[in-house]
Amino acid sequence: MIRWSRMHAALAGVALILVTNAVLLLSVVYNRSGTPGGTLVLSQRELRLPAYAVAGRENSGLALRLEWRVLEDAVGGASRAAASYSGGTPAWLNKAKLAALGFDVSKPADTAEGRLYYRKVLSKEVLLVLELAGPAYQTVLDDARKQLQDAQALRAADPSKKVLEQRVRNATALLSREETQSSRLFVVDAGRDAQALRARYPDRTKYALMRGQVSLRIVQIDGRPRLSGYISGLAIDEVNVPRAYRRAFLPWLDPSGHSGTPSPPRYEVSVAFGKRLEPWITAVSVPPGS
């Protein structure tokens, strides 16, 4: 029988606190050691400032929110750019990919038994590939340009119709948003083996790996149910801003302290991804005149 004195309890408590902190800090050191697994230069389009209320007096910390997107299936002529923020059912996350991620996809999706089964399957943690301003973004951009061209062609054929004029205005606004405001960061692949994924996406300035969650959805494609994966979240969706870089964001965090209406945020943030796929900020720059 162990007899504990107050001293034993005190020593055990101190050891517990110190060891826990040490393990956590060592994991951070390990993550940031060596060459980063990837460094993406993200702008205000991919890393959003929090709303003023969040960054208000009650919380002096600052974290930038990762805005990531998914290239959805183009269904019924709908825009690929629509409804693709923070989750989605990309075409590449098909049955074969889901099986490779460890999901049991043997049941047919078009039976009641299959629907019940897939509704019950919960999210799994997998590795996701983030692509910055790559082919996925280019596809969305091309899609928006094509929409504008189609709308302009329709208006040219019948200039008297107001609805066609409105459609052109909407397509112009969408293209402008895609070119200047929307996030260019897309989840383009998933897997379980980080090395295999990195071999497939070797460009470390354009591709980064992160942990995230994938669940199952049954989507209707041309009236037929089809099993698809749904990317439901990233394990880390905010990146903390250390005090050394905080100053760059002050004009947009505390507009009352600056003369006149602040211009829309414009900044570039270098984010490195380490051995544990955890990100951190390595540099922040603000273009002159912002």
**What are the b/e assignments for 200-223, b being 16+ CB within 10 Å?**
ebeebeebbbbbbbbbbbeeeeee
Residue 246 interacts with other proteins (CB under 8 A): yes or no: yes
Residue 106 interacts with other proteins (CB under 8 A): yes or no: no
Query: What DSSP state is assigned to residue 230?
Result: E
Instruction: Give the per-residue contact string, 180-219, with other proteins (x = CB under 8 A; - = no).
Output: -------------------------------x-x------
**DSSP, residue by residue, 36-94:** -SEEEEEETTTEEPPPTTTTSTT----EEEE--EE-B---TT--TTTT-BS-B-BTTS-
Shortest separation between residue 10's beta carbon and other proteins, angstroms: 5
Instruction: Give the per-residue contact string, 85-104, with other proteins (x = CB under 8 A; - = no).
Output: -----------------x--
- The nearer residue to other proteins, 66 or 171, going by C-beta atoms, is 66
The owner of tokens 């074969």 is: 96
Tell me how many residues contact other proteins (CB under 8 A): 54
216 Cβ partners below 8 Å, 6+ apart?
98, 103, 105, 118, 121, 227, 228, 229, 230
Among the listed residues 244, 256, 261, 288, the single contact to other proteins using CB under 8 A: 244
Residue 12 interacts with other proteins (CB under 8 A): yes or no: yes
- The nearer residue to other proteins, 102 or 135, going by C-beta atoms, is 102
Among the listed residues 156, 242, 247, 250, the single contact to other proteins using CB under 8 A: 242
- The nearer residue to other proteins, 9 or 82, going by C-beta atoms, is 9
- The nearer residue to other proteins, 22 or 82, going by C-beta atoms, is 22
Residue 1 interacts with other proteins (CB under 8 A): yes or no: yes
- The nearer residue to other proteins, 22 or 96, going by C-beta atoms, is 22
Among the listed residues 26, 28, 83, 221, the single contact to other proteins using CB under 8 A: 28
Residue 73 interacts with other proteins (CB under 8 A): yes or no: no
Query: What DSSP state is assigned to residue 247?
Result: G
**DSSP, residue by residue, 96-142:** HHHHHTT----S-TTSHHHHHHHHHPPPEEEEEEEEESSHHHHHHHH
Furthest C-alpha separation in the chain? 94
* CB of 209 closer than 8 Å to CB of 197: yes
Instruction: Give the per-residue contact string, 253-282, with other proteins (x = CB under 8 A; - = no).
Output: -----------------------xxxxx--
- Of the chain, the end-to-end C-alpha distance in Å amounts to 69
Other CB atoms closer than 10 Å to residue 164's CB: what's the count? 18
Compute φ and ψ for 63, nearest 5 degrees.
-135, 140
- The nearer residue to other proteins, 4 or 77, going by C-beta atoms, is 4
Among the listed residues 34, 53, 106, 120, the single contact to other proteins using CB under 8 A: 120
Residue 3 interacts with other proteins (CB under 8 A): yes or no: yes
Interatomic CA distance for residues 189 and 218, integer angstroms: 19
Residue 230 interacts with other proteins (CB under 8 A): yes or no: no
Sites of contact with other proteins (CB under 8 A): 1-6, 9-10, 12-14, 16-21, 24-25, 27-28, 31, 57-63, 102, 116-117, 119-120, 122-125, 211, 213, 235-236, 238-240, 242-244, 246, 276-280
